[in-house]
Structure 1
């Protein structure tokens, strides 16, 4: 193993989805969605490029780097919304997946009235 591979931090992710909580490891250079799939945990996803909001989640503890999350306004990212397909963990995470409708309402709800 190279020195760079040994230096990659691994974080614990606890993801609630459809009433079940799944825990799995996620490396700092791995998206949360890829880590979930590697652990056999199926979470919603579609485009896998940070544009659609199918993989939206709300992070209640921890933080992610999601510079490619074009589908989430910066102020909503600060409120905890994340797109798991482009989210790299920066701490242990507790999140609720399957939040596409909540994100849509937060981003566009005022235009629907």
Structure 2
């Protein structure tokens, strides 16, 4: 059994023009920490498949190995699925980015 204490990071989420501040452990998803803090981040599948909890990371870094709903190039642009994102630093992100992610990922296929 490990006695390693998880790191705790400061998270700032902007959603619908409001800023929310809470803490998140490095072994906890940003979505679960947001929910525990009463932040109304949209979510649905909680498995990294849909894009309901999509956010755009403005500052900081997340580890999201299970974010099947986001192509790698868009992850590099800062898109993250908060339900499967573990913080690796303090974060600033804009939540509610489902439409923006959908457009970035599939917009070129729309006629």
- TM-score per shorter chain, which class? over 0.9
Secondary structure of the structure 2 residue equivalent to 1:107: helix
Unaligned runs of 5+ in 2: none
Secondary structure of the structure 1 residue equivalent to 2:22: strand
The answer on 1:49 being equivalent to 2:47 is: yes
Aligned residue pairs total 110
Q: Structure 1 CA distance, aligned partners of 2:109 and 2:85?
A: 27
Q: Structure 1 CA distance, aligned partners of 2:100 and 2:84?
A: 18
TM-score, scaled relative to structure 1: 0.95
TM-score, scaled relative to structure 2: 0.97
Report the equivalent of 1:66.
64
Secondary structure of the structure 2 residue equivalent to 1:50: coil
Q: How does 1:8-47 map to 2 (within 5 A)?
A: 8-47=6-45
Report the equivalent of 1:80.
78
Q: Which of 74, 87, 92 is 1:89 aligned to?
A: 87
Segments ≥4 residues shifted beyond 4 Å: none
Secondary structure of the structure 2 residue equivalent to 1:3: coil
Q: Structure 1 CA distance, aligned partners of 2:39 and 2:95?
A: 11
**What is the deviation of 1:94?**
0.3
Secondary structure of the structure 2 residue equivalent to 1:26: strand
**C-alpha RMSD over aligned residues:** 0.9
